[in-house]
Structure formats: C-alpha cells, structure tokens
C-alpha cells in the first residue's frame, strides 16, 4: 500500500518549534525505552512509530533503542531478543544506537554519590511499611524520616556499604531529599536505590543495589543526549521529579519529557502483567498466539508492518484517551492486503460435488489471475475436475429467493469456471445428512453467462483430485466485552472460550502445500489467511488474519 504521510500533532509541533529555535543546538534525539519484561504489543508500536518516525522525518534526527533494564526480577534476554526482532520487523532501525540502562549502572552510582555530597540524598532505614506510612496521602502531607538529617559522611559511608553488600535486602534505601509536604507524592523523598540480591541478565551478580526507574530514566536520557523524551501520560506526575534530578546534576544535555496518551484497544488487554498471566496460564499458546495484541502475535496472525504503521498513523498522537475500535486495526490490514494479496480458493467445510456431465478422470486446466486487478502478479493454474468440493454452507436443499447460492434444482456459477445445476442431494442412509451433491455443468458457460439467462450466485470451489488438505484456525476477539480491563477477577478466567476455532480437513489449491510467501493469501469469499509455523510438509496450517468485511461488528450487535 502507498503509505500516507504523517500528519502533525502536538509533539511534532513542539519538536518543529525546538528545531527552529535551535534548542539543544537544533538536534533531535529520541529514544524508545522498553523494559525487557515481556513482548512488545500494539501499544508499543504506537510509541515506536512516534519515536522512530519523528526522528526519520527530520534531517539529522535519531532514535535510540534503550532497554530499560533496572528491574532484574522480571527481565530476561528472551525479551531483549524479541523486542529487537519486533522493532526491526516493524521497519525501524536503531543502527549502532542500542543501549541498556544497565550500561549506566556505574555512572548512575557516581551521580548518586554526587547527590549525597550535595545534601540532596540520604540513606533511610525505615521499613517499607513505615516508609509508606510516613509518605502521607493525597490529602495529608507526609512526615520527615528520622534519618533525613544524617550527615553527608554517614550517608556516603552507608551508601558505599549498601553497594558492598553489607546489609540485607530491603534494610535501607537511598532517597532523594526533596519535600515531604509536596502535593505531588512523587516528590516526597522518593527512593533512588534499593538493595536487592537478584541476578541481572547482563550484569550478573555485580550489583546488589539497583536504581529505581525514576532515578535512572532521566539520567539515561541525558547521558544519551536525548532531546525529547516521549512517554505515556502516567508519567506526567513524575515529570517534576525527572526535572528535579536533572537540575541537581551536571549532565551533557537537558532532555525534555513530553507525555501522550496510551493506546488501548477494544476487546483486548495491553498490560504486560496481564498478557504474561495469559501466557503463563496456558490459555493462549504463547506470546505470539495469533489472538494476542503483541507484535509477534499480530505477525503470526498475518498482520503486515505496513498495516500496523498505517494504524498508528490513523490513531494519531494526543493527550486525550485513546481507546480505539478493534475494527480500525482490522480495516488497516484489509486495505493493505486488498491490493497485494495473492488470491486463491479454499474450502473450509467441504461438501463433495460430483459433476455427472463430465467423464471419469476428466481434468481441464484453467489459468486464472493471481490478483483480479493486478495483472503484474501473473496467473495461476487451477483444475476443473469431475469431483470438486464446495462449502457446506453454499448449499441448501431449498431456500428463499434471496439465497444466491446452490439449491436442489437450482444453478450457481463456480468462480473462475462453469455454471452447474444440482440434480440431487445424496444423503447418508444412517445419519440422514447430506454427503454428496450430484450436479451437471453447462459447457457453454466458462466465465460467461449463458445467452438469455443470468446466474447471479458465484461460489468458490476446489478440485477434489487436485487439492491438499490441511488445517484452518479461525479467531474471534480474546474477550467478549470491549473493556476487559474493567472486568473483576482473574483475567485468565475472562478469556473468550470461542476465541479460536480449529477446522481440519480443509481443502486448498495444491500450491498452498508449500506456500512460503510473507504475505497472507486472500481465500476468495472467506478472508485473508496466513500460513502458520505449525504447518508440516503436506499439511498446511492457515490462520485467518481478518475476514473480508467487518463481520465482528455484526456479531457484536447480536451479543
Ligand atoms: P506495561 O504497562 O504493559 O508493562 P510499560 O509502559 O511498562 O507497559 P515499557 O516497556 O516500559 O512498558 O514501555 C516502553 C515504552 O512504550 C514506554 O515509553 C511506554 O510509555 C510505551 N508504551 C507502553 N505501552 C503503551 C501504550 N499502550 N500506548 C502507547 N505507548 C505505550
Ligand atoms: Mg514501563
């Protein structure tokens, strides 16, 4: 698809203004700072498209990838790897600018000593409970810690001994010395360092104290000479602390934090804690389960980077709540695939049709376009044979006139081939179910209506002798309510049990046995389907990425 150009938003306006006024020497440096404690999701894509996008739009603009790895309990190299794969797949490149907050552990420690020397930080021995109590509430000011007036020498000595591992976990913290009466709770002497004997995925057991997010983030930004630190609105109340820390220290650059609203998407959840719970419980098959809102899940489902980028462009950047209809995401994929997906025919719930007007073993090769509007995509060959499969739901023994498909005694056009008439529906003598249709074809109707009559219905089909069987997985949203975050109770128990339907014995055109293309196929009349990695030779597996129309909104009306 041709990508539309980015429209302005309040962040781009600020950046344009700063560049014009040569703030920070007219440099533009952004960063995308994921914590490697889970896989990236579509919300992260919004932040990636903003940070990398705005850097690419401005000459000389750069964007760093920075792993915000200050919380070793929940972090892992598996996540570091997946994050890089996902950012690259989305089409962005950090080149040599990949950093880790853990690269700065030594300088961060040095800056903490500097704060102590300036009387701006102290070691506090209050227990976690007492600290919470001393902190006050939104309506009551906090109380000063009894350790707040420790001398610089004592603080320095204790902090060095914290680093040296002399105290047990949680026994002491280093706190900023700001204002216990501040109306902003974040300014009430927040913790800067905690003692935690946890192995870090990069620094191993080198450290037993770890910096807090608030302490590490602004300094990391400044060390990387970030000019615009773009983050989501929940950090708005942290901005005074971000600025306070930078004000105390002598740093190479003065970044500016600007907040925008988080993306949330209907019928799914976006918090990594909840997504992790789904993965750990096994209700989904993993982070890349095609029902997940993760980048890897969307990729496996059949989403393209182009569709996700277009989605991010459509939702825009602002400070107002950003709850987006699921249909918008689906529409972005549909309009991307509409123009470039190869077409094929597949039958998901097969019903055998015998065309008695053809001799045994009859085969007619037909060449048909791979894409009806795009000749450049070439042609493919299909085979018209005596036995074919059609979709069970494309036949009724009798039906009202509005039913434009096949009925006993009626006619229908087989897509890309002939008109057939159904003589008889053969039933299984035991179950009474229809097991086969006996039909005749009209040889004068290949891709043309017979003179004097118009056959309105067109159905898809697959040759019974020239096909492969395989599996198709159909998906519905993970949750049946638009705002699953508002549900009470365990998230795992709220998952829509009908969010996946697995169909076996589906019939595909033979070339789909080996199909390796990166783009999903359009299965005519059924939607866009992407080959799953569970496929084995001879047995393809396809995920339905999205239907042809917005079927879900219709289902929703009936719920
Ligand atoms: P979660 O709450 O899911 O754990 P997080 O904010 O802790 O998410 P990070 O890894 O810290 O996840 O996020 C990296 C960057 O992506 C941050 O700048 C964050 O603001 C941004 N981000 C995370 N979720 C969203 C979202 N839903 N919409 C927009 N940006 C997001
Ligand atoms: Mg975070």
Q: Are 257 and 351 in a shared domain?
A: no
pLDDT of residue 449 exceeding 90, the answer is no
The residue out of 467, 491, 520 marking a domain boundary is: 467
Pocket of ligand 1 contains residue 74 by CB under 6 Å: no
Residue 558 within a domain:
no
**Relative to the alpha carbon of 214, which ligand is closest?**
2
Q: Are 350 and 258 in a shared domain?
A: no
- Strand pairing partners for 531? 542
- Token match 């708005």: residue? 236
| Rounded Cα gap, residues 536 and 519, in angstroms | 19
pLDDT at 478: 96
Q: Are 245 and 148 in a shared domain?
A: yes
pLDDT at 3: 59
| Rounded Cα gap, residues 123 and 172, in angstroms | 7
Q: What's the 270 CA to ligand 1 centre distance in angstroms?
A: 9
| Rounded Cα gap, residues 22 and 346, in angstroms | 59
Kindly state the tokens that stand for 213: 């997010």
Side-chain-side CA neighbours of residue 477 (13 Å):
23
Residue 295 within a domain:
no
Pocket of ligand 1 contains residue 218 by CB under 6 Å: no
Pocket of ligand 1 contains residue 230 by CB under 6 Å: no
pLDDT of residue 512 exceeding 80, the answer is yes
Q: Are 168 and 69 in a shared domain?
A: yes
Pocket of ligand 1 contains residue 270 by CB under 6 Å: yes
Pocket of ligand 1 contains residue 182 by CB under 6 Å: no
Residue 169 within a domain:
yes
Closest ligand 1 atom number to CA of residue 235: 20
Kindly state the tokens that stand for 400: 């009202």
DSSP 307-356: HHHHHHHHH---SS-EEE-HHHHHHHHHHHHHHHPPEE-EESSEEEEEET
pLDDT at 287: 98
Residues 393-403 pLDDT 10s: 999 998 888 89
Out of 262, 340, 466, 525, the active site residue is 262
Q: Is 544 helix (H, G, I), strand (E, B) or coil?
A: strand
Q: Which of 40, 44, 75 to mutate to test the pocket of ligand 1 (most atoms within 8 A of CB)?
A: 44
pLDDT at 551: 53
pLDDT at 550: 58
Pocket of ligand 1 contains residue 231 by CB under 6 Å: yes
For residue 390, give the CATH number of its domain: 2.40.240.10
- The rounded Cα 505 to chain-centroid distance in angstroms is 30
| Rounded Cα gap, residues 18 and 256, in angstroms | 11
pLDDT at 402: 85
Q: Is 45 helix (H, G, I), strand (E, B) or coil?
A: helix
Q: Are 60 and 183 in a shared domain?
A: yes
Mean pLDDT across the chain: 95
> Ligand 1: which residue has its CA nearest to atom 7?
35
236 counts as catalytic: no
Sequence-separated (6 or more) residues with CB below 8 Å from residue 165: 197, 208
Mean pLDDT over 507-522 rounds to 89
- Token match 């890349």: residue? 288
Q: Are 234 and 120 in a shared domain?
A: yes
Pocket of ligand 1 contains residue 46 by CB under 6 Å: yes
Residues 546-558 pLDDT 10s: 999 855 455 445 5
262 counts as catalytic: yes
Mean pLDDT over 162-168 rounds to 98
Q: Are 138 and 231 in a shared domain?
A: yes
Residue 292 within a domain:
no
Residues 322-342 pLDDT 10s: 899 999 999 999 999 999 999
Kindly state the tokens that stand for 355: 């065309």
Out of 135, 175, 239, 272, the active site residue is 272
Mean pLDDT over 449-464 rounds to 88
pLDDT of residue 538 exceeding 90, the answer is no
pLDDT of residue 454 exceeding 90, the answer is no
Sign of the CA dihedral running 404, 406, 409, 413? positive
Q: Are 259 and 349 in a shared domain?
A: no
Residue 74 within a domain:
yes
pLDDT of residue 1 exceeding 90, the answer is no
Kindly state the tokens that stand for 220: 């990391």
The residue out of 417, 437, 467 marking a domain boundary is: 467
Mean pLDDT over 17-28 rounds to 96
Closest ligand 1 atom number to CA of residue 262: 28
Residue 327 within a domain:
no
For residue 48, give the CATH number of its domain: 3.40.50.620
Q: Widest CA span of the chain, in angstroms? A: 102
- Token match 């216990």: residue? 180
Nearest of 473, 475, 496 to residue 484 by alpha carbon:
496
**Relative to the alpha carbon of 44, which ligand is closest?**
1
pLDDT at 552: 47
Count other C-beta atoms under 10 Å from residue 372's C-beta.
11
> Ligand 1: which residue has its CA nearest to atom 3?
271
Residue 210: φ, ψ to 5°? -130, 140
Kindly state the tokens that stand for 315: 């939702």
Q: Are 354 and 246 in a shared domain?
A: no
pLDDT at 515: 66
Q: At what angle do helices 10-20 and 42-57 cross, to 10 degrees?
A: 30
Residues 249-294 pLDDT 10s: 999 999 999 999 999 999 999 999 999 999 999 999 999 999 999 9
Residue 476 within a domain:
no
> Ligand 1: which residue has its CA nearest to atom 25?
43
Residue 393 within a domain:
yes
Sign of the CA dihedral running 224, 227, 230, 236? positive
pLDDT at 295: 98
Contact yes or no for 509/344 (Cβ under 8 A): yes
Kindly state the tokens that stand for 428: 């299984």
Q: Are 15 and 113 in a shared domain?
A: yes
Q: What's the 45 CA to ligand 2 centre distance in angstroms?
A: 14
Mean pLDDT over 197-224 rounds to 98
Closest ligand 1 atom number to CA of residue 232: 20
> Ligand 1: which residue has its CA nearest to atom 22?
44
DSSP code, position 18 = H
Q: What's the 514 CA to ligand 1 centre distance in angstroms?
A: 38
**Relative to the alpha carbon of 231, which ligand is closest?**
1
Contact yes or no for 244/187 (Cβ under 8 A): yes
| Residue 453: band (very low, low, confident or very high) from pLDDT cuts 50, 70, 90 | confident
Predicted TM-score of the model (pTM) = 0.95
Pocket of ligand 1 contains residue 292 by CB under 6 Å: no
> Ligand 1: which residue has its CA nearest to atom 23?
44
Query: Roughly how many angstroms between the first and final C-alpha of the chain, as a whole number?
Result: 34
Sequence-separated (6 or more) residues with CB below 8 Å from residue 12: 6, 54, 57, 317
Q: How many domains does the chain have?
A: 2
Burial 527-551 (b: 16+ CB within 10 A, else e): bbbbbbeebeeeebbbbbbbeeebe
The residue out of 467, 496, 531 marking a domain boundary is: 467
Residues 126-141 pLDDT 10s: 999 999 999 999 999 9
Kindly state the tokens that stand for 230: 């773009």
Closest ligand 1 atom number to CA of residue 33: 14
* Angle CA 190–196–202, to nearest 5: 105
Q: Is 276 helix (H, G, I), strand (E, B) or coil?
A: helix
Q: Are 14 and 160 in a shared domain?
A: yes
Residues 61-81 pLDDT 10s: 999 999 999 999 999 999 999
The range of the structural domain enclosing residue 39 comes to: 10-264
Pocket of ligand 1 contains residue 44 by CB under 6 Å: yes
Pocket of ligand 1 contains residue 47 by CB under 6 Å: yes
Q: Are 362 and 250 in a shared domain?
A: no
């Amino acid at each position: 698809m041709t990508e539309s150009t980015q429209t302005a938003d309040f962040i781009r306006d600020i950046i344009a203004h700063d560049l014009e006024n040569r703030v920070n020497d007219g440099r533009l440096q952004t960063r995308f700072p994921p914590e490697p404690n889970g896989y990236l999701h579509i919300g992260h894509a919004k932040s990636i498209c903003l940070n990398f996008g705005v850097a690419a739009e401005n000459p000389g603009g750069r964007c760093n990838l920075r792993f915000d790895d200050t919380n070793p309990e929940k972090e892992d190299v598996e996540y570091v790897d997946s994050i890089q794969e996902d950012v690259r797949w989305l089409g962005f490149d950090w080149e040599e600018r990949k950093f880790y907050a853990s690269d700065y552990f030594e300088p961060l420690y040095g800056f903490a000593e500097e704060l102590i020397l300036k009387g701006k930080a102290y070691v506090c021995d209050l227990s976690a409970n007492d600290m919470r109590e001393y902190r006050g509430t939104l309506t009551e000011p906090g109380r000063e810690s009894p350790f707040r007036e420790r001398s610089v020498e004592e603080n320095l000595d204790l902090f060095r001994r914290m680093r040296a591992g002399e105290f047990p976990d949680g026994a002491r913290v280093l706190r900023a010395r700001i204002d216990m009466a501040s109306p902003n709770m974040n300014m009430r002497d927040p913790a800067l360092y905690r003692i935690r004997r946890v192995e870090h995925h990069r620094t191993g057991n080198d450290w037993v104290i770890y910096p807090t997010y608030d302490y590490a983030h602004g300094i990391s930004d400044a060390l990387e000479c970030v000019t615009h630190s773009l983050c989501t609105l929940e950090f708005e109340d942290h901005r005074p602390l971000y600025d306070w820390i930078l004000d105390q220290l002598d740093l190479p650059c003065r970044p500016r934090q600007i907040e925008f609203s988080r993306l949330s998407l209907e019928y799914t959840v976006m918090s990594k804690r909840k997504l992790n719970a789904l993965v750990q419980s096994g209700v989904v098959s993993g982070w890349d389960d095609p029902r997940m809102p993760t980048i890897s899940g969307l990729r496996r489902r059949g989403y393209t980077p182009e569709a996700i980028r277009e989605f991010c462009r459509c939702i825009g950047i602002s400070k107002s709540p950003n709850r987006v209809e699921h249909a918008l995401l689906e529409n972005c994929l549909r309009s991307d695939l509409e123009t470039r997906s190869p077409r094929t025919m597949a039958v998901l719930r097969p019903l055998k049709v015998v065309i008695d007007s053809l001799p045994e073993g009859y085969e007619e090769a037909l060449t048909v376009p791979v894409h009806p509007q795009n000749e450049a995509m070439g042609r493919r060959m299909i085979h018209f044979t005596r036995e074919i499969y059609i979709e069970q739901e494309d036949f009724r023994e009798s039906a009202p006139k509005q039913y434009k498909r096949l009925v006993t005694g009626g006619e229908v056009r087989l897509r890309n081939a002939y008109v057939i008439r159904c003589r008889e529906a053969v039933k299984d003598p035991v179950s009474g179910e229809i097991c086969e249709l006996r039909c005749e074809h009209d040889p004068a109707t290949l891709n043309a209506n017979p003179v004097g009559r118009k056959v309105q219905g067109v159905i898809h089909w697959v040759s019974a002798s020239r096909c492969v069987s395989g599996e198709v997985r159909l998906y519905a949203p993970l949750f049946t309510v638009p705002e699953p975050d508002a549900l009470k109770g365990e998230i795992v128990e709220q998952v829509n049990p009908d969010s996946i339907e697995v169909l076996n014995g589906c019939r595909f055109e033979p070339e789909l046995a080996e199909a390796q293309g990166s783009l999903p196929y359009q299965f005519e009349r059924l939607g866009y389907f992407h080959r799953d990695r569970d496929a084995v030779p001879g047995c393809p597996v396809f995920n339905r990425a999205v239907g042809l129309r917005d079927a879900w909104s219709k289902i929703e009306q009936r719920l």
